[in-house]
C-alpha cells in the first residue's frame, strides 16, 4: 500500500520510539499535523518555536532519548536556530523537522521560504533537504542515528510540502549503515595502558569531567575511578551531576566561576585526566597557565576536541564509559599500590585549599542573598530536584550552590549560553519526569526571554517552579561593568519590569514573592506544596556578584574572591 510522505514520516517516528513532539504548526506542515493528530504521539504546542527546541533538548537530557521538534517553514524554521545552536554547543540529540515550500517553489523567494538547511549548516551535526517522498524513510533513520550516536547533536530535516503529500511504498530500513560515518566507541588498549601508567606514576592527579560523562552514562565509572585511585575530581558546568556533589573527593566546578580549590588543584597538578570535556575558554582561562605542570590524558569521542586548545600527552578517542571502565580494570590489575597513602599529601593540600576559600557569600541584614536562595532550594528539595537555569549570574549561583547528586539533574545552556533556555527546558524536563520537582533558577532578565511559555506549561498542567532571582539588572553584564568598565552600567538596568506575581496570576498560575530573608523558606515550602505552575520572585541584593571570578584572559589562579 502506498502512503503519503506525512504518513511515512509519522510511521518512522513511531519506529524510532518517539512519544512526544514539541512544535508549532503552519501552512507548510499542515499535512504532517493532520497525520500527527491521528497518531499516538503526543504533541506539545509551544508558544514560540525557540522554546520547542529548548524543551526537546531538556527532554533529551532527562530521558537520554532523542528530543523531537516540528515547525513550519520560514519564520518557524528561523525561530528554531537559537535552540539548535544551543543543542549543538552542548552536544544534545535533537531532531528538528521544518516544513518547506513545495519543491517547485524552492529558490523562488516564495512566501515563508527560507534556506534553513543553509542557515543551520554550521550549527547542526548534519542536515537534510528531503527532495523526494522515496527518501523520507531513509532520511529519518539516518537523522535519528546521527543525532544519538557518536558525539550526539542536533539534526535537521527540511520537508517540502509536496514531498509530504506524494505517495510511495513504505519500507522502513531496519538497519543503518553509513559508509562515511562510523564513530569510535572502544578505547584503544595500548592508550589505556599508557594512561594507566601515567596515573600510577603521578603524585598530584586531577580528574576533570565534562558533559561527555552525562551523555555516555559514565557517572558510575567516573566515581569508581576517582574512589579507587583517590583522585580529587572537578567538573565543567556541563559535567555537574556526573560526580556526587557531596563526595569527599569532589572539589566543585572549575573555571571562570569555579571554586578556588578546583582551580588551584588544576594549576598545580602533575596529571590532568580530562574526560568528555573540551578545554573551553571559560574553563581554561589563559591557556599557557592552564595545568602547565601537568601531563594530560584526554578521553573524548570526538577527535576534533583532542589537542584543539591544549597539547595532549595521551589522547584516547572513545566513549567515556568504555574508556573509564577499561581504565578502572587496568588500575585494579596494578597490585600493591596503596592509593590513599600515595596521594595523601596531595589530598591534604586540596582540602587545605578548600578550607582556605570555600564557596561563600556575605550575609546582609534584611537583604536576600541569591546564594542563600539556592542553598535553601537545595536543602528543601534534598538535592533531588531537576534544576534548569537561564544564563548569567542565576546560572553560576545554581552551579555553585546546588550540590547535584546525580547525572541528568542539571539542564543549562552551557556552550551557547542562551538566556531564555531555562523555562522551556523546565517544561521539557517536567514532561520527561512528571514525578520529579523541576525548578527553573532564573534571573529577571532571562525569564522574560521566553515568558510566553507560561501558557504552554499551564495548558500541559505542568507544576514547574520558577525561582526568579530579581536584582533588577542584567546582573552578569552589570558585574563586568562594575569590575572592568568603571561602573558604567550601559543598558543593564531592568528597573522597568512586570509584577511577576500578577504575571503568574494572569496566566492562571500561582505567584509568590519574598523580599526579606525570613520569607525565603516559607515561599519555597509553599511553592513545593503547590501542585501548579508557580513563580517565586526573590527580590535579591541588587549588586551581588558571582565569586570567585577569573577575569577574562587571566590565569585561573588569578581569582577575585569574596
Partner 1 sequence: MKHTFSVMVENKPGVLSRVAGLFSGRGFNIESLCVAETLDPELSLMTLVTRGDEQIIEQINKQLNKLINVLKVVDVSEGDFVEREMVLVKVKAEGNTRAEVLRMADIFRGKIVDVSPREYTVELTGDENKIKAVLELLRPLGIKEVARTGTIAMPRSKKTP
Catalytic site residue 290?
Answer: no
d(CA 315, CA 301): 10
Q: Are strands 314-317 and 410-411 parallel, antiparallel or unpaired?
A: unpaired
- When asked if residue 288 is in the footprint of partner 1 (CB under 8 A), the reply is no
Give the interface size with partner 1 as a residue count (CB under 8 A): 17
How far apart CA 112 and CA 72 sit, in angstroms, is 9
Q: Which is nearer to partner 1, 126 or 282 (CB)?
A: 126
Residue closer to partner 1 by CB (options 210, 463) is: 210
Phi-psi region of 187 (alpha: psi -120 to 50; beta: other; left: phi over 0): beta
Per-residue exposure over 389-401, b if at least 16 CB sit within 10 Å of its own CB, e if not = bbbbbbbbbbbbb
Among 78, 168, 307, 515, binds partner 1 (CB under 8 A): 307
CA angle at 214 for the pair 431 and 46, rounded to the nearest 5°: 25
Nearer to partner 1 by Cβ, of 303 and 358: the residue is 303
d(CA 198, CA 242): 23
When binding is defined by CB under 8 A, the residue of 2, 104, 308, 516 that contacts partner 1 is: 308
Task: Give the burial class of 451: count Cβ atoms within 10 A of its Cβ; 0-12 exposed, 13-18 middle, 19 or more buried.
Answer: buried
The answer to whether the beta carbons of residues 372 and 523 sit under 8 Å apart is no
- Of 119 and 521, CB closest to partner 1: 119
Which residues, 322 to 341, sit near partner 1 by CB under 8 A? none
Task: Provide, rounded to whole angstroms, the least separation between the CB of residue 121 and partner 1.
Answer: 6
- Residue 410's φ and ψ, nearest 5 degrees, are -120, 125
Pick the piece of the chain touching partner 1 (CB under 8 A) from 298-306, 369-377, 498-506, 546-554: 298-306
State yes or no: is 49 an active-site residue: yes
Using H for helix, E for strand and C for coil, what is the string for 66-78?
Answer: CEEEEECCCHHHH
Q: Which helix (H) or strand (E) holds 150?
A: none
Which listed range, 117-125, 168-176, 387-395, 532-540, lies at the site for partner 1 (CB under 8 A)?
117-125
Burial of 468 (0-12, 13-18, 19+ CB in 10 A): buried
Residue among 161, 321, 465, 545 flagged as catalytic: 161
Does residue 177 belong to the site contacting partner 1 (CB under 8 A)? no
Nearest-approach distance from CB 332 to partner 1, in angstroms: 33
78-86, 175-183, 335-343, 505-513 -> range binding partner 1 (CB under 8 A): 175-183
Site for partner 1 in 209-268 (CB under 8 A): none
Interatomic CA distance for residues 485 and 364, integer angstroms: 26
357 binds partner 1 (CB under 8 A): no
Which one from 49, 221, 375, 537 is the annotated catalytic residue?
49
Q: Answer yes or no: are the C-beta atoms of 468 and 536 closer than 8 Å.
A: yes
Q: Side by side, which strands form the sheet with 271-275?
A: 250-253, 233-235, 205-209, 271-275, 295-300, 314-317
Binding mask 469-508 for partner 1 (x = CB under 8 A): ----------------------------------------
Residue 293 binding partner 1, by CB under 8 A: no
Residue 230 annotated among the catalytic residues of the structure: no
Residues 121-150: x where in contact with partner 1 by CB under 8 A, - otherwise, as a string: xx--xx--x----------------x----
Active site residues: 49, 111-112, 161, 476
Residues in the site for partner 1, rule: CB under 8 A? Answer: 117-118, 121-122, 125-126, 129, 146, 178-181, 302-304, 307-308
Amino acid at each position: 500500500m502506498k502512503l503519503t510522505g506525512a504518513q511515512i514520516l509519522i510511521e518512522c517516528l513511531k519506529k524510532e520510539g518517539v512519544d512526544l513532539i514539541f512544535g508549532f504548526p503552519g501552512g507548510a506542515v499542515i499535512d504532517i499535523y493532520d497525520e500527527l493528530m491521528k497518531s499516538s504521539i503526543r504533541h506539545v504546542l509551544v508558544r514560540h518555536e525557540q522554546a520547542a527546541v529548548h524543551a526537546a533538548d531538556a527532554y533529551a537530557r532527562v530521558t537520554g532519548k532523542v528530543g523531537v521538534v516540528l515547525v513550519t517553514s520560514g519564520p518557524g524554521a528561523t525561530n528554531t536556530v537559537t535552540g539548535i545552536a544551543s543543542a549543538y554547543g552542548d552536544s544534545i540529540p535533537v531532531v528538528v523537522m521544518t516544513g518547506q515550500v513545495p519543491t517547485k517553489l524552492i529558490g523562488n523567494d516564495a512566501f515563508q521560504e527560507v534556506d534553513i538547511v543553509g542557515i543551520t549548516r554550521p550549527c547542526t551535526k548534519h542536515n537534510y533537504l528531503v527532495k523526494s517522498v522515496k527518501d523520507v524513510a531513509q532520511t529519518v533513520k539516518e537523522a535519528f542515528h546521527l543525532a544519538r550516536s557518536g558525539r550526539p547533536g542536533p539534526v535537521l530535516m527540511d520537508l517540502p510540502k509536496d514531498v509530504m503529500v506524494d505517495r510511495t511504498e513504505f519500507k522502513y530500513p531496519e538497519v543503518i549503515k553509513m559508509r562515511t560515518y562510523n564513530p569510535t566507541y572502544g578505547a584503544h588498549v595500548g592508550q589505556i595502558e599508557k594512561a594507566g601508567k601515567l596515573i600510577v606514576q603521578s603524585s598530584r592527579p586531577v580528574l576533570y569531567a565534562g558533559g561527555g560523562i552525562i551523555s555516555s552514562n559514565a557517572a558510575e565509572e567516573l566515581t569508581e575511578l576517582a574512589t579507587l585511585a583517590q583522585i580529587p575530581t572537578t567538573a565543567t558546568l556541563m559535567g555537574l551531576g556526573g560526580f556526587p556533589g557531596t563526595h569527599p573527593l569532589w572539589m566543585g566546578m572549575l573555571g571562570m566561576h569555579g571554586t578556588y580549590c578546583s582551580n588551584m588543584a588544576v594549576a598545580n597538578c602533575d596529571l590532568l585526566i580530562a574526560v568528555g570535556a573540551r578545554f573551553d575558554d571559560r574553563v581554561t582561562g589563559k591557556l599557557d597557565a592552564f595545568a602547565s605542570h601537568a601531563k594530560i590524558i584526554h578521553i573524548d569521542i570526538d577527535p576534533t576536541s583532542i589537542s584543539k586548545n591544549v597539547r595532549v600527552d595521551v589522547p584516547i578517542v572513545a566513549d567515556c564509559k568504555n574508556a573509564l571502565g577499561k581504565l578502572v580494570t587496568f588500575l585494579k590489575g596494578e597490585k600493591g599500590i596503596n592509593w590513599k597513602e600515595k596521594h595523601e599529601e596531595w589530598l591534604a593540600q586540596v582540602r587545605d585549599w578548600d578550607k582556605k576559600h570555600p564557596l561563600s557569600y556575605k550575609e546582609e541584614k534584611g537583604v536576600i542573598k541569591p546564594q542563600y536562595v539556592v542553598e535553601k532550594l537545595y536543602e528543601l528539595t534534598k538535592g533531588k530536584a531537576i534544576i534548569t537555569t537561564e544564563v548569567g549570574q542565576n546560572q553560576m549561583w545554581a552551579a555553585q550552590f546546588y550540590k547535584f547528586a546525580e547525572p541528568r539533574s542539571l539542564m543549562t545552556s552551557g556552550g551557547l549560553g542562551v538566556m531564555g533556555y531555562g523555562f522551556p527546558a523546565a517544561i521539557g524536563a517536567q514532561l520527561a519526569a512528571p514525578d520529579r520537582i523541576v525548578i527553573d533558577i532564573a534571573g529577571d532578565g532571562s525569564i522574560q526571554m521566553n515568558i510566553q511559555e507560561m501558557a504552554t506549561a499551564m495548558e500541559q498542567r505542568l507544576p514547574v517552579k520558577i525561582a526568579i532571582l530579581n536584582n533588577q539588572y542584567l546582573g552578569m553584564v552589570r558585574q563586568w561593568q562594575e569590575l572592568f568598565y568603571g561602573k558604567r552600567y550601559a543598558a543593564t538596568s531592568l528597573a522597568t519590569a512586570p509584577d511577576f506575581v500578577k504575571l503568574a496570576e494572569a496566566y492562571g498560575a500561582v505567584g509568590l514573592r519574598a523580599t526579606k530573608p525570613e520569607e525565603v523558606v516559607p515561599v519555597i515550602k509553599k511553592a513545593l506544596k503547590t501542585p501548579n505552575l508557580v513563580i517565586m520572585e526573590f527580590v535579591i541584593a541588587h549588586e551581588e556578584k558571582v565569586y570567585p571570578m577569573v577575569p577574562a584572559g587571566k590565569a585561573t589562579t588569578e581569582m577575585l574572591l569574596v
